[in-house]
């Protein structure tokens, strides 16, 4: 069997190879055998060769071939080496044959972006059929079968032994000795044939994947820390607002206690039921007593309304009757009918954001902050501040102006952290000079300038 064929492959990351590292090309089928190109760094030498292995189901052959190995690069550097009478022995794995081309220090002259192009031309000059490969277990099995038969012939000469003899192979039966003794059988552990050797390319891929996973974990941890800081800031602001409300309510309670303890304070009389229900509330006996007291009071006729308690004046009873006939109406929380249309539209936008029917944008954030401060709504205030820190497209000067106008301390700290150059500090000061600089903001900008210098 003879023939010729050519293989070529471009190897990547050759400049990262370490001593004893090997790189292989993809396997290809030629002349009923698998072939692949192999490059090896042997300490200070660079070796190029071919690997051959028989295909499953094909007969084992010993091949003899001439190899022409060509190395080229993008800069037209080219080197050719020849290996005559290379012998590829039949084996269970790949049989490699190659030659040292040049020193490892000269490989830089043939690389283009870390890649090396290798071409190998194979000319099969001879082929011999080789005997089948033995795995070293046939002799062991044969010896075991011989020992079993000798044991049966010596110690179990009955009908059952004939059945066992029929199950043994014929060649073992014919070659078994007549007077053989039982030999000890040892089961020695064989070396593992499934040891895996990872190539240089797999090692580089594993390192890159590990690097990507570590970087993604670092980014996720940074996002979590940022979210936790925002949550802590919002909780601190809400706690401060609640404390202010509690202090204000406690002051109102103390003022009421002082008014009640003063001698000039007079409690308001309870509302009385209408005169038409006086008889039902007090009963017959109470009605008689009221009538007797009213009859004895000078200036009262029977046609005038009667006070249920009997000791009040006629004008007080009439006022109570008017209150029951026409009770006062309670004012509504939001009276949209009495407000101008512009105010109604702004209030509707605020309510939509408050109940998550709309979102905060750069166009409506100023309006929402005004309503949130006016109505002490911490939910909308937190939404606006979070939007300005994470999603707003406003400049740093505009964000600082909003932070000073609505006293948003977290937004101011966030903007100061974004200032990294002296030019940014100069532009912020020039933009905010007309609108007025807060003293604390000016001090923070000056300290930032000193750190940048």
Give the pLDDT confidence of 277-296 residue by residue, as tens digits. Answer: 444 444 455 555 545 555 55
Residues 328-337 have a mean pLDDT of 46
User: In percent, how much of the chain has pLDDT > 90?
Assistant: 8
Quick: pLDDT tens for 335-356.
Answer: 444 556 667 888 888 889 988 8
Q: What tokens does 171 get?
A: 């060649």
List, in order, residues 6 or more apart from 430 with CB less than 8 Å away.
none
Residue 293 to residue 276: CA distance in whole angstroms: 18
List CB contacts of 27: < 8 A, sequence separation 6 or more.
34, 35, 36
Contacts of residue 28, defined as CB under 8 A and 6 or more positions apart, other chains included, come to 7, 34, 35, 36
User: Which residues, listed in sequence order, are joined to residue 128 by a DSSP beta bridge?
Assistant: 62
Kindly report, residue by residue over 48-62, the tens digit of the pLDDT: 888 988 887 677 788
What confidence tier does 18 reach under pLDDT thresholds 50, 70, 90? confident
Dump pLDDT digits (tens) for 389-446: 999 999 998 999 998 889 898 998 899 888 888 888 888 888 887 666 777 788 888 8
Is residue 378's pLDDT more than 50? yes
Q: pTM of the full predicted structure?
A: 0.32
- The pLDDT value recorded for residue 105 is 79
Q: Is the Cβ–Cβ distance between 104 and 41 less than 8 Å?
A: yes
CA distance 233 to 415: 15
Which of 182-186, 213-217, 337-341, 384-388 is predicted with the least confidence, judged by mean pLDDT?
Answer: 182-186
- Mean pLDDT to the nearest integer, 3-22: 88
DSSP string, 49-85: EEEEEEPTTSPPEEEEEEEEEEEE-TTS-EEEEEEEE
pLDDT band at 312 (very low <50, low <70, confident <90, very high): very low
Q: Which residues of 39-66 are buried (b: 16+ CB within 10 A; e: fewer)?
A: bbbeeeebbbbbbbbbeeeeeebebbbe
Structure tokens at 350: 């605020």
- How many CA atoms lie within 13 Å of 429's alpha carbon, on the beta-carbon side? 14
User: Within 10 A of 73 (CB to CB), how many other CB atoms are there?
Assistant: 17
Q: How many Å apart are CA 155 and CA 171, to the nearest integer? A: 22
Nearest Cα to Cα of residue 403 among 374, 443, 441? 441
Predicted pLDDT of residue 317: 58
Helices and strands, number each (H, E), in the chain? 13, 9
Is the Cβ–Cβ distance between 53 and 33 less than 8 Å?
yes
Helix axes 378-390, 341-354, angle to 10 degrees: 80
Which residue do the tokens 């009918």 mark?
Answer: 337
- The distance of Cα 396 from the centroid of its chain, to the nearest Å, equals 29
């Amino acid at each position: 069997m003879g023939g010729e064929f050519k293989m070529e492959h471009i190897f990547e990351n050759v400049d990262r190879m370490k001593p004893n590292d090997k790189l292989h090309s993809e396997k290809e089928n030629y002349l009923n055998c698998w072939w692949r190109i192999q490059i090896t760094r042997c300490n200070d030498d660079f070796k190029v060769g071919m690997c051959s292995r028989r295909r499953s189901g094909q007969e084992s052959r010993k091949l003899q071939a001439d190899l022409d190995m060509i190395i080229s690069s993008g800069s037209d550097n080219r080197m050719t080496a020849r290996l005559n009478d290379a012998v590829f022995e039949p084996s269970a794995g790949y049989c490699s044959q190659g030659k040292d081309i040049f020193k490892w220090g000269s490989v830089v002259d043939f690389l283009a972006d870390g890649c090396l192009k290798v071409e190998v031309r194979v000319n099969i000059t001879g082929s011999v059929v080789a005997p089948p490969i033995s795995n070293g277990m046939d002799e062991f099995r044969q010896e075991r079968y011989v020992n079993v038969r000798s044991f049966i012939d010596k110690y179990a000469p009955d009908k059952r032994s004939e059945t066992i003899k029929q199950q043994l192979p014929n060649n073992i039966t014919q070659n078994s000795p007549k007077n053989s003794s039982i030999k000890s059988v040892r089961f020695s552990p064989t070396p593992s044939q499934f040891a895996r050797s990872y190539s240089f390319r797999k090692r580089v891929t594993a390192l890159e994947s590990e690097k990507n996973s570590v970087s993604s974990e670092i980014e996720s941890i940074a996002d979590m820390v940022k979210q936790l800081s925002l949550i802590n800031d919002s909780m601190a602001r809400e706690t401060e607002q609640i404390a202010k409300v509690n202090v204000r309510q406690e002051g109102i309670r103390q003022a009421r206690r002082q008014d009640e303890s003063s001698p000039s304070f007079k409690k308001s009389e309870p509302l009385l039921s209408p005169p038409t229900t006086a008889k039902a509330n007090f009963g017959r006996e109470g009605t008689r007593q009221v009538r007797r007291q009213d009859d004895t009071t000078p200036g009262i006729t029977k046609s005038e309304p009667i006070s249920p308690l009997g000791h009040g004046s006629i004008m007080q009873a009439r006022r109570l009757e008017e209150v029951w006939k026409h009770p006062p109406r309670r004012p509504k929380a939001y009276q949209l009918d009495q407000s101008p249309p512009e105010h109604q539209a702004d209030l509707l936008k605020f309510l939509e954001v408050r109940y998550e029917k709309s979102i905060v944008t750069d166009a409506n954030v100023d309006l929402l902050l005004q309503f949130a401060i006016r109505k002490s709504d911490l939910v909308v205030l937190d939404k606006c501040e979070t939007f300005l820190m994470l999603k707003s497209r406003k400049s740093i000067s505009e964000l600082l102006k909003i932070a000073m106008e609505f006293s948003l301390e977290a937004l101011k700290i966030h903007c100061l952290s974004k200032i990294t150059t002296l030019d940014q500090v100069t532009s912020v000061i020039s933009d905010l000079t007309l609108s007025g600089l807060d003293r604390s903001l000016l001090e923070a900008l000056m300290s930032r300038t000193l750190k940048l210098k």
